[in-house]
Amino acid sequence: MRHLSILLLTASLLLAWGKTGHRVIGRIAEENLTPAAKAGITELFGHSDLARIANWADDIKSDPKWDHSHEWHYCTIIEGEEYTGPESGGRAVQKVTEFTKLLSQDNLSEKDQKDVLRFLVHFVGDLHQPLHVGNGTDKGGNDVKVTWFRDETNLHSVWDSKMIDHMQYSYTEYAQQLQLGLTDEDRQAMLNPDIMSFVYKSRSFHPQVYDIGNGKLSWQYIYKNKELMEDRLLKAGYHLAAILNEIYK
């Protein structure tokens, strides 16, 4: 029993934006693809349902063959410094850049195109979770123990899934809710494929994210951070669409 709980605990530390978060991002992106991008993705998968492929990169963490991919889910920007590269921890920026290029060049096997696209959809999402752009001191908040209502957990997990799950929306409902009332100008403004701009943006929210008082997080923390969490999901969806539209031009 003890071993089982340790195993479960370890597994929970490894998750990224939870399943719903990645699906919301995939759904929003899909709704904003150009016809060419939609066609390119459909040619590969037989559909263009990005929500369906968005969690594969987490699923394969259970396969030792993919152990080397664990550090592809995050990056690090040391406090007060510029992003320097993977040597400060995590390869998400490098992988998103590399995979975008690989898909654009169009000389991969069909199997590799599928894997690379599944990774890309997931990592663009991860990089919008403020704690996936870590500060290099606490594994992106995984080492910051907090309570969430009555449960013991960590700050990273609150941002990956606890806050999202608390909203009790399905991913399709959430994708729809987040886009209510957007004008064409709003949408255009969000269709930005520049990776480093959203990485720095994620990092810029750390003061708010780490403002956790005594670490007993519940209604008040949600009240203060819901808007930011939802904005990161929305922007992730549009940025992902912009990157894919650029690839399948």
Q: Taking a C-beta distance cutoff of 8 angstroms, is the pair 219, 13 a contact?
A: no
| Phi, psi angle pair for 75, to nearest 5° | -140, 175
Q: If binding is defined by CB under 5 A, does position 18 make contact with Zn ion?
A: no
Separation between Cα atoms, residue 144 and residue 10, nearest integer Å: 15
Q: If binding is defined by CB under 5 A, does position 115 make contact with Zn ion?
A: no
What's the closest the beta carbon of residue 15 comes to ligand ADE, in angstroms? 9
Q: Out of ligand ADE, Zn ion, none, which partner does residue 19 contact, by CB within 5 to 8 A per kind?
A: none
Q: Out of ligand ADE, Zn ion, none, which partner does residue 134 contact, by CB within 5 to 8 A per kind?
A: ligand ADE
Burial of 79 (0-12, 13-18, 19+ CB in 10 A): exposed
Query: Which of 19, 122, 139, 162 is in the footprint of ligand ADE by CB under 6 A?
Result: 139
Separation between Cα atoms, residue 115 and residue 134, nearest integer Å: 25
Q: Out of Zn ion, ligand ADE, none, which partner does residue 203 contact, by CB within 5 to 8 A per kind?
A: none
Contacts of 151 (CB under 8 A, 6+ apart): none
What's the closest the beta carbon of residue 112 comes to ligand ADE, in angstroms? 25
Q: Taking a C-beta distance cutoff of 8 angstroms, is the pair 90, 134 a contact?
A: yes
Query: Which of 73, 118, 128, 239 is in the footprint of Zn ion by CB under 5 A?
Result: 73
Stretch that binds ligand ADE, among 18-26, 137-145, 163-171, 215-223 (CB under 6 A): 137-145
Site string for ligand ADE, 192-221 (x = CB under 6 A): ------------------------------
Q: If binding is defined by CB under 6 A, does position 140 make contact with ligand ADE?
A: yes
Separation between Cα atoms, residue 58 and residue 152, nearest integer Å: 22
Closest CA to 30 of 160, 171, 199, 164: 171
Q: Taking a C-beta distance cutoff of 8 angstroms, is the pair 100, 243 a contact?
A: yes
Query: Which of 24, 90, 160, 161 is in the footprint of Zn ion by CB under 5 A?
Result: 160
**For residue 216, what are the β-bridge partners?**
147
What's the closest the beta carbon of residue 57 comes to ligand ADE, in angstroms? 13
Give the torsion through C-alpha atoms of 132, 135, 137, 140, to 10 deg.
-10
Q: Which residue is nearest to Zn ion, using beta carbons?
A: 16
Q: Out of Zn ion, ligand ADE, none, which partner does residue 160 contact, by CB within 5 to 8 A per kind?
A: Zn ion
Q: If binding is defined by CB under 6 A, does position 21 make contact with ligand ADE?
A: no
What's the closest the beta carbon of residue 132 comes to ligand ADE, in angstroms? 5
Q: Taking a C-beta distance cutoff of 8 angstroms, is the pair 102, 116 a contact?
A: yes
Residues in the site for Zn ion, rule: CB under 5 A? 16, 73, 126, 160
Which residues contact ligand ADE (rule: CB under 6 A)? 73-74, 89-90, 131-132, 134, 139-140, 142
